[in-house]
Amino acid sequence: MTLSPESEGAYGADAAHAASGVFPPFDPTYYASSLFWLTISFVVLYIALDRFILPKIKTTIEDRRDRIADDLDAAAQAKAEAEAAGQAYEQSLADARAKAHGIAADTRAALDKELAKESAEVEAELAEKQAAAEVSIREAKEKAFAEVRTIASSATVAAVEALAGLEVAEADAGKAVDKAMKGA
Amino acid sequence: MAENNLDPIKQFEVHEVIAFEAFGLDLAFTNASFFMVLTTFLTIVLFTVALTGRAMIPNRSQSVAELAYGFVADMIRSTAGSDGLRFFPLVFSLFIFILVANLLGMFPYFPAPGWHSYTVTSQIIVTAALAMLVWLTVVLYGLFTHGLKFLKIFFPSGIPWPLYFIVTPIEIISFASRPVSHSVRLFANLLAGHILLKVFAGFVVMLAAGLGTAGYLVGVLPFAMTLGLTALEFLVAFLQAYVFAILTCIYLSDALHPGH
């Protein structure tokens, strides 16, 4: 029953040499050898790590840190630029709105003014026409009155002559008519 | 033979793979050496793969590499302050070496000499060497940068002067014993965990061998235990690497700011 292969190893014969009855870790037979090979192994490892491996890891980590810092800076800058652009946009929007308000107000004022002017003109024209019409009405009325007097005095002359047989001067008749018209 | 294979201590034995002698010392390449070299090799390969074609947006492996980097960097910053980052490569190497070594030790079988895995950090000599590396770094850096002011770590500020007669010896003892606690903590955790795993896994085999079918049925219990312990050991593997690294940071903080 072979349970551990060390009994069959290439150095099976050495087992007798090593198993000198001392607890193996305190067996000083190979202390010098262990120290020698440990020194070689550790020094080689130290040099490899110190000269080649650790600097590589260090630069990789630092490169990454720098890159991340750079990227963050770039992102912050882009953000600031975007914010500035946004503000500029809002500003121009506000300006345009204010300008539009101004234009609307100006247009409204101009329209109001024109409207007021036109309506004043129309009113003046109307007043003029009204005045002219009133004048012509009065003239027509006066003319009509004058004609009524003439007709009335002629009628009076004719009526007096026919009724009383009296000849009345046209002028007297006119006076009488005037008197009557005033009395009426 | 079976009893020998069930020995929970056997997994910690070091075996010579390739004989090698220098400076009159036996520096044989062993199965432990194999896992030390493998730890370094695997770490470098994995990081290299993770970092090839590294991108702004990381893929999974690159994320893990960066996560490990950030994890250790934060650990240093929170314990030793930002100037502690000059020790970043050291702390990172210690953390990743111990972590990978611990995790490699979690394989029961492994394509390695002897076909079983070896937990490098279960060797007291290894953890002691790493702990001494940290301790000596603290002492030497502290003395070179602060001179005698470094001794202020033994005289904490803000206490009445008679207390220094008690506090200073305590501080000196605690400072001197740091490498011991630092190394034994890692070593003992890994050692005990792996012994426990092997003991419970061994129960399954012993029950099956001794009781036959009934043994298989009862063996479900230690098997479930082994399963749970394996999960726990993965946690310990990470946690002890973390603890070792964070203690390193705390000790280095003394070297950076003595008198705090």
Residue A1 is assigned to a structural domain of this protein: no
CA distance B155 to chain A (A): 34
Look at residue B189 and give its three-state secondary structure.
Answer: helix
Residue A8 is assigned to a structural domain of this protein: no
Q: Is B69 on the interface with A (CB under 8 A)?
A: yes
Q: What is the pTM of this model?
A: 0.72
Q: Which pLDDT score, from 0 to 100, does residue A18 have? A: 46
Residue A2 is assigned to a structural domain of this protein: no
- Judge whether residue B21 has pLDDT over 80: no
Number of domains in chain A: 1
Q: Which pLDDT score, from 0 to 100, does residue B4 have? A: 55
Residue A71 is assigned to a structural domain of this protein: yes
Cβ separation of A34 and B33 shorter than 8 Å?
A: yes
HEC-encoded secondary structure of chain A:
CCCCHHHHCCCCCHHHHHCCCCCHHHCHHHHHHHHHHHHHHHHHHHHHHHHHHHHHHHHHHHHHHHHHHHHHHHHHHHHHHHHHHHHHHHHHHHHHHHHHHHHHHHHHHHHHHHHHHHHHHHHHHHHHHHHHHHHHHHHHHHHHHHHHHHHHHHHHHHHHHHHHCCCCCHHHHHHHHHHHHHHC
Task: Let me know: does A27 contact B14? Beta carbons within 8 Å.
Answer: yes
Residue A3 is assigned to a structural domain of this protein: no
Task: Report residue B164 as tokens.
Answer: 């220094």
Helix (H) or strand (E) holding B31: helix B31-51
Residue A21 is assigned to a structural domain of this protein: no
CA distance A73 to chain B (A): 18
Nearest to B205 among A3, A17, A23 (CB): A3
Cβ separation of A25 and B124 shorter than 8 Å?
A: yes
Tens-level pLDDT at each residue, chain A (184 residues):
334 444 444 444 444 444 456 777 777 778 888 888 999 999 999 999 999 888 888 888 888 889 999 999 999 999 999 999 999 999 999 999 999 999 999 999 999 999 999 999 999 999 999 999 999 999 999 898 888 888 888 888 888 888 877 777 777 877 877 887 776 5
Is residue B161 very low, low, confident or very high in pLDDT (cuts 50, 70, 90)? confident
Report the C-alpha gap between A6 and B114 in whole angstroms.
5
pLDDT in tens, B23-56: 777 788 888 889 999 999 999 999 998 888 777 7
User: With contacts defined as CB-CB under 8 Å, which chain A residues touch B123?
Assistant: 25, 34
User: With contacts defined as CB-CB under 8 Å, which chain B residues touch A66?
Assistant: none
- Which ipTM value was assigned to this complex? 0.89
Residue A173 is assigned to a structural domain of this protein: yes
Mutate to test the interface with B, among A26, A42, A68, A70 (most CBs of B within 10 A): A42
Report the C-alpha gap between B96 and A45 in whole angstroms.
9
Residue A20 is assigned to a structural domain of this protein: no
**What are phi and psi for residue B177, nearest 5 degrees?**
-90, 0
Q: Chain A residue with minimal CA distance to B90? A: A46
Task: Let me know: does A3 contact B5? Beta carbons within 8 Å.
Answer: yes
Length in residues, chain A: 184
pLDDT in tens, B211-241: 878 877 888 888 899 899 999 999 999 999 9
Q: Residue A61: which domain range? A: 26-183
CA distance A53 to chain B (A): 7
Q: Is A36 on the interface with B (CB under 8 A)?
A: yes
Cβ under 8 Å to A: B residues 77-96: 88-90, 92-93, 96
Q: Is A27 on the interface with B (CB under 8 A)?
A: yes
* Domain edges within chain B: 2-256
Look at residue B56 and give its three-state secondary structure.
Answer: coil
Q: How deeply is A105 buried, as exposed, middle or buried, from its count of CB atoms within 10 A (0-12, 13-18, 19+)?
A: exposed
Task: Let me know: does B235 contact B103? Beta carbons within 8 Å.
Answer: no
Mean pLDDT for chain B overall: 86
Closest alpha carbon to B245 in B234, B235, B256, B253: B253
Report the C-alpha gap between A81 and A77 in whole angstroms.
6
